[in-house]
Amino acid sequence: MRRIVGIELSHQRAPLAIREKISFSTEEQLEALEQLKHELPEVFMIATCNRLAVYAYTDDIYPIKKFFARFGDLTPYLSVFEHDCAAFQHLFATASGLHSQALGEHEILGQIKKAHATAQAVGSIGPVLEEFVRRAIFIGKKVRKETAIGKYPVSLASVSYDILKRIHKSLNKLNVLVLGTGEMSSLMLKLISKKEVNNIFVASRTMERAQTLANMHGGVAVEMENIKSILPQVDIVIGATHASTAVLDMEDLAGLENELTLIDLGLPRNFNENIKLLEKVKLYDLDDIKALTYESLHKRQQEVPKAYEIIDHEVGEFKYWINTRKISPVISSYYEKLEQIRQEELKWALPKLGELDDNQRKIIEHLISRVARKLSGKPIEMLRNFSQEPHLEKNPIDTFKELFDL
């Protein structure tokens, strides 16, 4: 009998060296789904930098195992979900951010939506997985709404942004200088948009890179050699360069009259720790930021039991839906059979009753229908109840088919 199954390779069990072997582009994901849909009635794939997961509605998980085997012996790194409600709970928990590297992060919901759109484009997803994914997205949103699992910042960029918001309350009318043009600088600039701050300055040893990043965020490019000349104009400096020595030290800031907040995301440090001795300067380095990250993570972890309570309830709801759906064709066949018998018996009985007016005929037809409905009520109710008990020795749906010759 068909059921929802799944196999995943993720950061939870597989190191980066293994994960990078099966890194999928969107085009490769489309191609893989095109192949899998010929072997699986319904199939859905999530492919990100941290996970490759394949879910299917099928009676045979082998095509998914064969798919992963193309990349070598990955058995020690695979999580397999093929019994009872394991696949339900796993995807619902994934959508809720419980399996993310940054516990409770929101990005996974967007990734699931994108994966859903890809499966729709290929035509590999059907009504059961459509409902499965729809519920996963709904549950992911519900968990974040009803718990605080996504409310505390846990990434370096989001914690740094939270520090700035706490110190300055509002970033309006403030001027920000960002040192470096790498990933961390880009993340910080996405959080501190031009809409929120007054002016943005981007400094780099490569002016072309500084100009490109500054243009993306409505800022001004600055040569790294000239940053000291604009320090009197700024309120916040974010250091995210890969410089081997400190870019700023106490002597560079000692004569400034304006108050400064420095966020040091560099390794090695961009700002000399002696800057902390200056009264008008607040300096937060990686150790300070990571300490706040761990504090936020601990708060998120306290929300995990509440999240699983929601997920467990929703797993039960989806289990009821999918089991009830399985018996719908059987119930439809049963009612068609009843209607066939009703018509046959009316055809036999009515000629034997002599002349009947329309009202009398309607009463007889209605009587037979009422008897049929009342006789079938209990068996249908029992079938619905039995469909929720998958571990009975004999499949109740097959038994019901035999009982009524369906």
Q: Would you state the pLDDT for residue 392?
A: 56
The sheet that has 78-81: what strands, in order across it? 42-47, 51-58, 3-10, 78-81
Side-chain-side CA neighbours of 295 within 13 Å: the count stands at: 8
β pairing state of 260-264 and 281-284: parallel
Q: Which of 348, 364, 368, 347 is nearest to 356 (CA)?
A: 364
What φ, ψ does residue 236 adopt, rounded to 5°? -135, 135
CA dist 143 and 147 (Å) reads 6
CA dist 156 and 260 (Å) reads 20
Side-chain-side CA neighbours of 144 within 13 Å: the count stands at: 21
Beta strand segments in 228-269, E: 236-239, 260-264
Mind listing the pLDDT tens digit of every residue in the chain (406 residues)?
889 999 999 999 999 889 888 888 888 899 999 999 999 999 999 998 889 999 999 999 999 999 999 999 999 999 999 987 999 999 999 999 999 988 998 889 999 999 999 999 999 999 999 999 999 999 999 999 999 998 888 888 999 999 999 999 889 889 999 999 999 999 999 999 866 899 999 999 999 999 999 999 999 999 999 999 999 999 999 999 989 899 999 999 998 999 999 999 998 999 999 999 999 999 999 999 999 989 889 999 999 999 999 999 999 999 989 888 877 777 788 888 888 888 888 889 888 888 888 898 899 888 888 888 887 777 777 777 766 665 555 666 776 676 666 7
Helix and strand numbers (H, E) in the chain are 15, 10
Query: Residues 10, 46, 138, 192: what is their CA dihedral angle, to the nearest 10 degrees?
Result: 80
CA dist 289 and 156 (Å) reads 7
Tell me the per-residue pLDDT of 96-154, one tens digit each, with 9 for 90 and over.
999 998 899 888 999 999 999 999 999 999 999 999 999 999 999 999 999 999 888 88
Which domains are delineated in the chain?
3-150 (3.30.460.30), 156-298 (3.40.50.720), 327-403 (no CATH)
Long-range CB contacts (< 8 A, 24+ apart) of 297-300? Answer: 297/103, 297/152, 297/154, 299/148, 299/152, 300/103, 300/104, 300/148, 300/149, 300/150, 300/152, 300/154
Q: Which of 47, 24, 50 is nearest to 103 (CA)?
A: 50
The sheet that has 199-204: what strands, in order across it? 220-223, 199-204, 175-179, 236-239, 260-264, 281-284
CA dist 364 and 103 (Å) reads 65
Crossing angle (nearest 10°) for helices 127-146 and 86-95: 50
Q: Would you state the pLDDT for residue 85?
A: 92
Q: Would you state the pLDDT for residue 278?
A: 95
